[in-house]
């Protein structure tokens, strides 16, 4: 296996300075940008986006995707404002130098028609920009199970899939079967694993079949999304106590490093 590694580095640090340092320490060269300096990157000013781009360029870091929250609202909420924000984010993506925007398929709906009607607005707004829209199988939205995701991608093949194994596990989906259904649509993967009780664990330590999935994956980039539990005061525990809290970490930077190392371990094997 050989992939370029991207990461949600806001899980290591809230500041851009801290994110750059965490990525340097862990050999990560691509950022899936989400939270930065207390703001969601989808809503920052164009000036701020330009500053971020310059600092990342100077650090040798590229932006792989804008990890936006678009589509992560109730199906009945005001969509006009949401769409205006999305259109503005298309300009931010260009400034940041990414061709990917992650999005979702709305809460509070089990019928595909209202979802498709709103997703079509995103698709229409994106036409001619070169931006690739990527739908993530987030828990609780319409597309949280593979059969519903397929309904979206068949109608809008230009919307690609972000395959998140942990989210499927948390929705009691078999990730291998989900992969068989969604593989033709997958643009990239989120590297996140989980146990059947919903606990997120390092890649390869859960029930997401990460080793198998990465062996099947033919894409270029994977994004580490740690979501690992940070326990305040962990560093003060005795070693025996720490061993009972196998998947809890003393600080965000440590948890980030564990998540990246778990992926590298699978790739190395």
pLDDT of amino acid 125: 98
pLDDT of amino acid 1: 66
Q: Which of 13-27, 212-226, 234-248 has the lowest mean pLDDT?
A: 234-248
**Do residues 212 and 176 touch, judged by C-beta distance below 8 A?**
yes
3-state secondary structure of 160: strand
C-alpha closest to that of 30 among 78, 1, 2, 66: 66
How many Å apart are CA 67 and CA 65, to the nearest integer? 6
How many Å apart are CA 222 and CA 224, to the nearest integer? 7
**Do residues 159 and 153 touch, judged by C-beta distance below 8 A?**
yes
How many Å apart are CA 125 and CA 132, to the nearest integer? 12
C-alpha closest to that of 190 among 200, 199, 198: 200
Q: Does residue 8 surpass a pLDDT of 60?
A: yes
Q: Which of 1-5, 27-31, 218-222, 232-236 has the lowest mean pLDDT?
A: 232-236
For 192-196, the CB contacts below 8 A with 24+ separation are 192/164, 192/165, 192/166, 192/167, 192/224, 192/225, 192/226, 192/227, 193/165, 193/166, 193/169, 193/262, 194/165, 194/166, 194/167, 194/169, 194/170, 195/169, 196/169, 196/172
Domain architecture of the chain: domains with CATH: 4-268 (3.20.20.150)
How do beta strands 62-66 and 35-36 pair?
unpaired
3-state secondary structure of 38: coil
* N-to-C CA span, the chain: 8
Q: Does residue 245 surpass a pLDDT of 70?
A: no
Q: How far is Cα of residue 104 from the mean position of the Cα atoms in its chain?
A: 11
C-alpha closest to that of 259 among 221, 219, 216, 230: 230
pLDDT of amino acid 2: 83
Residue 176: pLDDT band (50, 70, 90) is: very high
How many CB atoms within 10 Å of residue 239? 6
pLDDT of amino acid 19: 98
Burial of 2 (0-12, 13-18, 19+ CB in 10 A): exposed
How many Å apart are CA 133 and CA 125, to the nearest integer? 11
Mean pLDDT of the chain: 95
Q: Does residue 86 surpass a pLDDT of 70?
A: yes
pLDDT of amino acid 232: 74
**Which DSSP state fits 131?**
P
How do beta strands 186-191 and 160-163 pair?
parallel
Across 207-230, average pLDDT = 96
CA distances from 147 to 42, 44, 110, 130, 150 (A): 29, 35, 12, 28, 5
Across 233-237, average pLDDT = 68
- In total, the chain counts a number of residues equal to 269
Q: Does residue 5 surpass a pLDDT of 60?
A: yes
Q: Does residue 233 surpass a pLDDT of 80?
A: no
Across 24-44, average pLDDT = 97
- Cα atoms in the 13 Å half-sphere on the side-chain side of 148: 25
């Amino acid at each position: 296996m050989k992939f370029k590694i991207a990461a949600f580095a806001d899980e290591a640090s809230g500041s851009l300075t801290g994110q750059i340092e965490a990525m340097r320490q862990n050999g990560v060269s691509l950022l899936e940008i989400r939270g930065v300096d207390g703001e969601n990157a989808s809503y920052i000013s164009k000036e701020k986006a330009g500053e971020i781009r310059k600092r990342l360029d100077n650090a040798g870091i590229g932006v792989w995707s804008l990890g936006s929250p678009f589509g992560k609202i109730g199906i009945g909420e005001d969509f006009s404002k949401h769409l205006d924000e999305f259109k503005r984010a298309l300009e931010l993506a260009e400034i940041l130098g990414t061709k990917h925007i992650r999005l979702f398929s709305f809460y509070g709906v089990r019928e595909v028609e209202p979802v498709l009607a709103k997703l079509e607005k995103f698709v229409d707004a994106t036409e001619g920009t070169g931006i690739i829209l990527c739908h993530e199988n987030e828990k609780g939205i319409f597309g949280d199970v593979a059969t519903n995701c397929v309904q979206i991608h068949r109608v809008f093949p230009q919307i690609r899939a972000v395959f998140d194994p942990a989210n499927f596990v948390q929705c009691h989906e078999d990730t291998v079967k989900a992969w068989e259904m969604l593989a033709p649509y997958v643009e990239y993967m989120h590297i996140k694993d989980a146990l059947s009780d919903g606990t997120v664990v390092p890649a390869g330590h859960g029930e997401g079949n990460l080793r198998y999935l990465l062996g099947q994956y033919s894409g270029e980039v994977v994004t580490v999304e740690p979501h690992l539990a940070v326990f305040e005061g962990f560093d003060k525990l005795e070693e025996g106590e720490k061993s009972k809290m196998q998947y809890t970490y003393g600080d965000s930077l440590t948890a980030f490093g564990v998540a990246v190392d778990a992926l590298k371990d699978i790739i190395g094997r």
